[in-house]
Every structure is written in structure tokens, then in C-alpha cells.
Amino acid sequence: MNKLFFDIETLPADKDKHQILKKFYKSRLKQGKTKSIFQDFLAGTSFGGTFGRILCISYAFNDEPIKTLKGDEKKIIEDFWQIAERVDLFIGHNILQFDLIFIRQRSIILGVRPTRNIDLKKYYSKDVYDIMHEWNNWNGTISMDELAHAFGIPSSKSKMDGSQVAGFHEAGKDEEIYKYCAADVKVTRSIYKKMNYE
């Protein structure tokens, strides 16, 4: 069985989207749907593929070395879908509600046709093993950092965490982000093995 352990790192909307986002921000402000300042609203775009962007995808098949897709976002997504053709089981943390949906949304926006269908419905685990949901039996959330500490696995969050990705990117520290993303994949693989007695 070809198991793919993976993780993505995302960024807020690019500058060319800021004007239209100001319009949406003002509309939500008037409707009382947000109380945040525009910069916080903008930072929140990194949580969805509508305006957020993929900076990198780190992955590893089974026990193979971890690799990272980086550079042009469209090429990252095209490469991901080529890799996906060989996958029997996608494994990650919160991938059903974040990573895979984000990849699907960006694929549509950038015109990249997926090479296969990945069913993202709730409680589904035929092609997807989401360690967060498998741990809690779909009842609540738990961070990967918490699981790592519970299992005695060195955490990937010691030098940075996901909330710092945009700041590191703006500071020109993409290499550190790639290392962090790869570290998340390493931890994901270790947690999966613990959870499956491997």
C-alpha cells in the first residue's frame, strides 16, 4: 500500500487581491460579521483557498525521505496531483477540513484538473487517514503538537508554528518554512505509526 504523509503551508492573499478584499471587509464590518482590523482579516485569508495561497507541500511515501514541492503555486499543485495518482492512503493532521480542501480550491482557481477524486466527506476514511479525527473519533479537535507530546515524539513546533508562516515569508525566510513543513510530515508519520502499532 502506498501511503502518502503530507502537509501544506499557506499564505494570505497576494497584494493584487487586497483591493477587492477591502470591499468584502467593509461589507462584513457593516453587517457586524467581523470586528477585526483589516490586517487581521487579510491574515485570515491564509485559512482558505479562495484567496489564500499554497507556499509549499512537503510529503513522503511510506518510509521514504521527505521531499518538498515549492516555487510557482500552480506547478506545486500540478506536481501534487501527479504524485496523488500513486497514492492508496493520504495521511495527515486535519487534512479533511484544511489541506485537501485548500488544495482542491486552489486547483479550481488555478485551472489545474485533479488526476483523481479524493472523497472529503465527514467520517470517511477509505482513502484518507486524518490523524486528528481518527484520534478523537470525529469528536472535537486536538493539535498535532499535543499528540506529539502525548506520544513522546519531538515536536515540530519548537522553532515556529503555522501562525508564523506569513511573517517568516515576508522576512524572506522561506527555507525555514520548508524545513518546518517537512518536520510536520516527519511528526505526522511518527504519530500515525504510534496510532497503528507500527
DSSP state of 143: -
H runs (alpha helix) in 54-126: 73-84, 100-110
Helix (H, G, I), strand (E, B) or coil at 193: helix
Q: List pLDDT tens digits, range 107-147.
A: 999 999 999 999 888 777 789 999 999 999 999 999 999 99
pLDDT digits (tens, 9 = 90+) for 14-24: 999 999 998 99
pLDDT of residue 29 exceeding 90 = no
Q: Quick one: which H or E segment has residue 11?
A: strand 3-11
Residue 33 is predicted with a pLDDT of: 80
Query: Of 11, 108, 102, 103, which is closest to residue 48 (Cα–Cα)?
Result: 102
Question: What is the residue range of 137's domain?
Answer: 3-195
Helix, strand, coil percent values for the chain (each to nearest 5): 50, 15, 35
Q: Which CATH number does the domain housing residue 51 bear?
A: 3.30.420.10
Q: E-assigned strands of 36-188?
A: 53-61, 67-70, 89-92, 128-130
pLDDT in tens, 145-192: 999 999 999 988 877 788 899 999 999 999 999 999 999 999 999 999
Number of domains in the chain: 1
CA nearest neighbour of 70 among 8, 129, 136, 150 = 8
Interacting residues of 138 by C-beta distance below 8 A, sequence separation 6+: 122, 123
- Is residue 158 packed enough to be buried (19+ CB in 10 Å), middle (13-18) or exposed (0-12)? exposed
Per DSSP, the three-state class of 8 is: strand
Q: How far apart are CA 2 and CA 96, in angstroms?
A: 19
Given a cut of 80, whether residue 86 has pLDDT beyond it is yes
Torsional sign, CA 72, 74, 78, 80: positive
User: What is the Cα–Cα distance from 154 to 97, expressed in whole angstroms?
Assistant: 25
Global pTM value:
0.94
Strands 3-11 and 53-61: antiparallel
Provide, rounded to the nearest whole percent, the portion of the chain with pLDDT above 90.
Answer: 79
- Confidence band for 35, pLDDT divided at 50, 70 and 90: confident
